[in-house]
Chain A
Amino acid sequence: MLRVAFRLHASRPRPLRCFHWTALRLAQSDILGSLDKSPIVQAVSRRMQRRTELQSQLSETLNTPEDKENMKQLSLMEPLRNAWEEWKETRNLLKETTVLLEDPDPSMRSLAGEEYTELVSKLSVMAQEKFPSLLVPPSETSHLSAMLEIKAGVGGSEAALFVGNMIRMYTAVAGHLGWKAAVTASNTTENGGMKDAMLEVKGQKAYDTLRWESGVHRVQRVPATEGSGRVHTSTVSVLVLPLEEDNGNEVKDDLFTMDEVRIEVMRSRGAGGQHVNKTESAVRLTHIPTGITVSMQDERSQHQNRRKAFMVLRARLMDRKLTQDTVDRRDLRRSLVKSADRSEKVRTYNYTQDRVTDHRLGMSIMNIDSVMDGEALQELLTELGRKYQAELLAEAAES
């Protein structure tokens, strides 16, 4: 059955079109001018200037510590430099071809026109795709899976029911995107909802794609138990943490050492051992330097609970590290990262109006079921990813 999602969204910049060669003649200076003035091209040009500066700073001997650092920077700039050289060449060709547009020979003019169109197209592709891909470094987190911590917020049992809806939504979208989703811990309520739950989503790019789900999700609907048909508003908070491949080791050297972790078991077992056969395997970890605590009791053995708890601890510490790295990088104007302070409302699910609105994108999707089934959610995730890339590019272009 086809579900149609009706989209209302802000306009996006369109790629440069190719003009007819006669019109080109008139517009040619404009094209070159606008390409040269584009922020991307200017950013690359500035980088090239820096490159020249770095080169001039190299000493005669090439083996001082500054030299080593500068040469490292220069080698990192090589791909961009090659692209820039290609840009300059293409630009020169374009200039030459422009002259030929005025050639007395009609067949010459026609050929020149075709070539002109091609060259302009090539330049615009470089400006729209090649340069951005080189200016923005590739994601260092693309290999990471995701751990979603979903908690009922305001709204009591209604919110708890919506936690269940969200688990199903993320599980569905995981299926569409080729990831494996599994609930690894949960606290159920009497009416079949969940006070909180942890959903593991395993697969490449799971963290990169889902990280913008962090924040407060608001739901407006008539609760199933509500007699009078009054609409209630409740909230659910989502926190997406990065998760690395579980190779069974408890310690990831750069994140923490075992000395920094206090392991507590939750209840006294009296004489314990043979005297007692109750399962009491709950565990609490405290990472002393940061104060982060993780409690785990869902598994039937101490060992399993410990393992899970360490996994969550690692995810929280890695998230902290990544967030810290981002904050360190002078990015306060980046709205996506700002809203990931996790207490901001990121999305509203309005059942009575059958609409989902993402507040960061300023984008709404009709047919709420298409979102809750995971299908239309993919669109939102794609748009959020694009927005993030655009913000990264803007930051790179300014530096």
Chain B
Amino acid sequence: MLNTVQCRHYLAQLTRVLGAQSAKLELAWILQSIHHRQPPDRHLALSSMVARRVSGEPLQYILGTQPFGSLQLLTRPPVLIPRPETEDWTIRLSEYVKPTLEAPIKLLDLCTGSGCIPLLLCKLWPAGTVRTTGVDISSDAIQLAEDNAKHCGILSTSDVTPSATASAHNTFNAVLADMRDPVFVSTMKSSGEFSPFHVITSNPPYIPKDEYEQLPPSVKDYEDIRALLGDPDMYPNDADISHLSPTPRSDVGRGLSFYHDIARLAHKQQGLLAEDGVVAVEVGKGQADDVTAIFKEEGNLQHTAIWKDPWDVERVVVASPTRNVRLGL
């Protein structure tokens, strides 16, 4: 049992930064994470973790994990920490789309980050019904996604030999690539025999430039700007990330760039999305209507729906070139 006086002291420190309720919860989680360690080590760990939290570092980076659905995911800076809104719609998607062994599907997740979306879907859908691919521009993200796949016991296609019961596993492959690069589609199609994806998911960066500047330090100072800023043409240091597919002028500064790219990628003429395929993307607060319009006009995805998150914010745009009764499209 830890010294009560010390606990009270740490609690007070955390309360100043987080408020009473969060402080209590977070201290309990910190204690839980080190509870198996031996005393001198444990006290040091506690002291350092509290200090880091007080300085503004996100708890998820300090603890190194974040539960996501039925998974326990690893978290590592600067890769985006999985959000509860994302958890909610990923689970919802798994209930509306029902792949089967007779009709298995392929899924593409753009800006995959930690790999949370495809990995959870691999877990939720029956074994052997889905092959997923997660793409990200960041090698940190790709490394973390691969580590997460291993951590969650999800195989990649190279782990599963064709002779073995390949059908008995859902798979995840992480690919380092820039989805905004014009050669992206041909890169995707180059591997072996290509067939279009039945589902394209994404939680792309969607924060407008001016809002990015106002973000709380725990987000802004710790998580990758490339995962957050929805205006990639407006990076502070215009490095080699400049682009190739410029955002329409009317949308510059509105955090919508990536949706233009996704709409173009999903358009029939690219052959990336199946004819009756579905696109599901997370959006920022207030962006759902604009993203819906972008998908209709540039992606020719005429059938759309908007999902709200548990906090009553329009959080997901679901779209398809064809009617989809189950999804209400």
Q: How far is the CA of A188 from the CA of B4 in the complex (A)?
A: 12
- Choose the segment among A88-96, A128-136, A171-179, A300-308 that binds chain B (4+ C-beta atoms closer than 8 Å): A300-308
When distances are taken between beta carbons in the complex, the residues of chain A under 8 Å from B223 are 277
Interface size class of B (residues with CB under 8 A): 35 or more
When distances are taken between beta carbons in the complex, the residues of chain B under 8 Å from A271 are 211, 284-285, 313
In A159-200, the 8 Å CB interface with B consists of 188, 190-192
When distances are taken between beta carbons in the complex, the residues of chain B under 8 Å from A297 are 25
**Provided the pairs A192-B4, A269-B311, A272-B285 are in contact, do residues A280 and B84 lie with their beta carbons within 8 angstroms?**
yes
Residues of A in contact, count (CB < 8 Å):
27
Contact for B228 among A274, A278, A298, A304, CB less than 8 A: A274
Report the minimum CB–CB distance from A82 to chain B (whole Å).
Answer: 49
**Provided the pairs A272-B285, A277-B60 are in contact, do residues A302 and B219 lie with their beta carbons within 8 angstroms?**
no
Pair B87/A303 contact, Cβ less than 8 Å: yes
**Provided the pairs A278-B218, A279-B59, A302-B84 are in contact, do residues A273 and B91 lie with their beta carbons within 8 angstroms?**
no
When distances are taken between beta carbons in the complex, the residues of chain A under 8 Å from B88 are 302-303
Pair A303/B83 contact, Cβ less than 8 Å: no
Scoring B residues 270 to 312 as 1 if CB is less than 8 Å from chain A, else 0, what string do you get?
A: 0000000000001011000000000000000000000001110
Indicate if A281 sits at the interface (CB-CB under 8 A).
yes
**Provided the pairs A263-B310, A269-B311 are in contact, do residues A276 and B67 lie with their beta carbons within 8 angstroms?**
no
Pair B25/A298 contact, Cβ less than 8 Å: yes
Pair A268/B311 contact, Cβ less than 8 Å: yes
Return the 7 tightest CB-CB contacts between A and B, nearest first: A301-B67, A302-B84, A271-B285, A265-B310, A277-B58, A273-B85, A269-B311
In A80-128, the 8 Å CB interface with B consists of none
Indicate if B81 sits at the interface (CB-CB under 8 A).
yes
Pair B81/A277 contact, Cβ less than 8 Å: yes
Q: Which residues of B contact A (CB under 8 A)?
A: 1, 4, 7-8, 11, 22, 24-26, 28-29, 58-60, 66-70, 80-81, 83-88, 91, 203, 205-207, 211, 215-216, 218-219, 222-223, 227-228, 282, 284-285, 309-311, 313, 315
Q: How far is the CA of A154 from the CA of B85 in the complex (A)?
A: 40
A192 to B, closest residue via Cβ = B4
When distances are taken between beta carbons in the complex, the residues of chain B under 8 Å from A188 are 24, 28
Report the minimum CB–CB distance from B215 to chain A (whole Å).
Answer: 6
When distances are taken between beta carbons in the complex, the residues of chain B under 8 Å from A272 are 83, 85, 285, 309, 311, 313, 315
Number of CB contacts from chain A to chain B under 8 A: 100
Pair A275/B67 contact, Cβ less than 8 Å: no
Q: How far is the CA of A196 from the CA of B30 in the complex (A)?
A: 20
**B25, B81, B284: residue with the most chain A Cβ atoms closer than 10 Å:** B25
Report the minimum CB–CB distance from A69 to chain B (whole Å).
Answer: 43
Q: How far is the CA of A208 from the CA of B208 in the complex (A)?
A: 59
Pair A300/B4 contact, Cβ less than 8 Å: no
**Provided the pairs A274-B80, A277-B81, A300-B29 are in contact, do residues A190 and B8 lie with their beta carbons within 8 angstroms?**
yes
Pair A274/B4 contact, Cβ less than 8 Å: no
For the complex with contacts A272-B85, A273-B313, A281-B84, 6 further pairs of A-B residues with Cβ separation under 8 Å are A190-B4, A272-B313, A276-B219, A303-B67, A303-B69, A303-B88
Report the minimum CB–CB distance from B144 to chain A (whole Å).
Answer: 16
Pair B211/A277 contact, Cβ less than 8 Å: no
Report the minimum CB–CB distance from A185 to chain B (whole Å).
Answer: 11
Indicate if A244 sits at the interface (CB-CB under 8 A).
no
**Provided the pairs A265-B311, A279-B60, A303-B70 are in contact, do residues A273 and B4 lie with their beta carbons within 8 angstroms?**
no
Pair A277/B83 contact, Cβ less than 8 Å: yes
Pair B284/A273 contact, Cβ less than 8 Å: yes
Pair A301/B84 contact, Cβ less than 8 Å: yes
When distances are taken between beta carbons in the complex, the residues of chain A under 8 Å from B59 are 279
When distances are taken between beta carbons in the complex, the residues of chain B under 8 Å from A277 are 58, 60, 81, 83, 218-219, 222-223
**Provided the pairs A188-B28, A273-B85, A279-B59 are in contact, do residues A303 and B91 lie with their beta carbons within 8 angstroms?**
yes
When distances are taken between beta carbons in the complex, the residues of chain B under 8 Å from A191 are 4
Report the minimum CB–CB distance from A149 to chain B (whole Å).
Answer: 19
